[in-house]
Amino acid sequence: MLTGISLLAVLMAGCGTGENNTVSESTTVPAEEAPVAAEAEQASTEEAQATATYPLVIKDELGHEVTIPAKPTRIFAPILEDSLASLGVKPVVQWSNGARIQEYLQDQLADVPVITFTKGLPPASEAVMSYTPDLIILHNKNFAENGIYEQYSKIAPTYVFQSATTDFSHSLLTLGEMLGEQEKAAEVLAGYAEKVTAAKEKLGTVIEGKKAAVIRFNSKGMFFMTSDYFSGYVLAHDLGLSQPESIQGSTAAVSYEVLPKLDVDYIFLVKDGNSGDATLNELKESSIWKSTPAVKNGNVFETASEYWLTGGVIAQSKVIDDIVSFLTP
């Protein structure tokens, strides 16, 4: 699984593979006009390249051959709004779980209508069709089940990821290819890699050799966030805060009794909306919680669920900002 850091060398090299736009020797351009001429030539070249990209034929991660006839402008990509926003692209409609939207993105998506995924299920094809998308992107293979792919693909070209939020670097590059924003995707990931490097330098010995756990609370109980996705991935793979073996690969609800034996230096608490309030409040009053090593050492931090429980450059950059703020006050 690739991170922003591991992709940096490839991305930076990729950004430099295009031909340089220069004025030919036979053309005389006043010095004050040269930058303008260069910019115009570059814009013209980029426009030609974008035009040449389409129609684009690409195979999605479920094996479907997807033909995108022209540069998409009306995109339905639920739960990938973060990645779209980082590329400067607005979707035609944004996802909601019925109780909340992605609040941290509303400075860019405030004027974008909302569509609800009731009980986590994709909306009916009629509802999607009403927004007349010219490209549909499903972030998870589960969204394509039960005939949904067949219905959606009749509306517009439909691309399906196995799990786009597991490795946002890969999915962002794929989005960049489909949307004609390859250079922007590379630029965004290079910027994220720089952010990770700067954060690690600032944190220094504070995180060196340390372990951490991200604990999520909702109405069903308490869960560990593994290093495979979202904020758990940022801590383990980007910043190097390892997880104990007891957490790795665990997705089931866990009992309070494991906490006193939890071998971590830091605990980050994430409430899944208001549904996690009762569970967390109950835990905080328990003697088990108060006997947990990280709690006794004052190394427990409460976080914002909206971006700790999602993936993308914007969300994961905010997670990094939180960790730096928590650990280097």
Using one digit for the tens of pLDDT, what is the confidence trace for 301-320?
Answer: 999 778 998 889 999 999 99
Q: What percentage of residues in the chain have a pLDDT greater than 90?
A: 60
What pLDDT is recorded for position 221? 83
Exposed/middle/buried for residue 208 (C-beta within 10 Å: 0-12, 13-18, 19+): exposed
Instruction: Work out the average pLDDT over 54-78.
Output: 97
What pLDDT is recorded for position 252? 60
Exposed/middle/buried for residue 39 (C-beta within 10 Å: 0-12, 13-18, 19+): exposed
Cα–Cα distance list, 61 to 28, 58, 113, 142, 158 (Å)? 50, 10, 28, 12, 11
> Given pLDDT bands bounded at 50, 70 and 90, which one contains residue 33?
very low
Give the C-alpha separation, 318 to 308, whole Å. Answer: 8
Instruction: Work out the average pLDDT over 211-228.
Output: 87
> Given pLDDT bands bounded at 50, 70 and 90, which one contains residue 173?
very high
Other Cβ atoms within 10 Å of 321 Cβ, number: 13
What are the start-end ranges of the H helices in the chain? 4-15, 34-53, 81-86, 106-109, 125-129, 148-153, 168-179, 182-203, 230-233, 277-284, 287-290, 293-296, 305-308, 313-327
What pLDDT is recorded for position 31? 40
Helix (H) or strand (E) holding 236, with range, is: none
What pLDDT is recorded for position 258? 87
Residue 92 has pLDDT above 90, yes or no: yes
Residue 15 has pLDDT above 60, yes or no: no
Enumerate residues 6+ apart whose C-beta is below 8 A from 12: 186, 190
Give the C-alpha separation, 256 to 286, whole Å. Answer: 9
Give the C-alpha separation, 215 to 58, whole Å. Answer: 38
58: Cα separation from own chain's centroid = 22
Give the C-alpha separation, 134 to 158, whole Å. Answer: 9
Enumerate residues 6+ apart whose C-beta is below 8 A from 144: 62, 138, 152, 158, 160
Average pLDDT, the chain: 83
> Given pLDDT bands bounded at 50, 70 and 90, which one contains residue 140?
very high
Taking CA 300 as the corner, what is the angle to CA 294 and CA 303, rounded to the nearest 5 degrees?
150
Q: Residue 119: what residue type?
A: K
pTM: 0.81
Check: CB of residue 114 under 8 Å from CB of residue 96.
yes
The CATH code of the domain at 56-180 is: 3.40.50.1980
More confident residue, 95 or 37: 95
> Given pLDDT bands bounded at 50, 70 and 90, which one contains residue 249?
low
What pLDDT is recorded for position 176? 97
What pLDDT is recorded for position 244? 82
Shared fold status for 56-180 and 197-327: yes
Using one digit for the tens of pLDDT, what is the confidence trace for 261-290?
Answer: 888 999 999 987 666 777 788 888 899 999
Domain ranges across the chain: 56-180, 197-327
**Among 265, 252, 196, CA closest to 225:** 252
Check: CB of residue 163 under 8 Å from CB of residue 233.
no
What pLDDT is recorded for position 281? 84
What pLDDT is recorded for position 250? 57
Instruction: Work out the average pLDDT over 190-194.
Output: 98
Cα–Cα distance list, 28 to 24, 32, 39, 41 (Å)? 8, 12, 16, 15
> Given pLDDT bands bounded at 50, 70 and 90, which one contains residue 231?
very high
Q: Which residue has the tokens 């909340």?
A: 100
Residue 60 has pLDDT above 90, yes or no: yes
More confident residue, 243 or 8: 243
What pLDDT is recorded for position 306? 84
What pLDDT is recorded for position 298? 95
> Given pLDDT bands bounded at 50, 70 and 90, which one contains residue 28?
very low
**Best CATH choice for the domain 197-327 from the list 3.40.50.300, 3.40.630.30, 3.40.50.1980, 3.50.4.10:** 3.40.50.1980
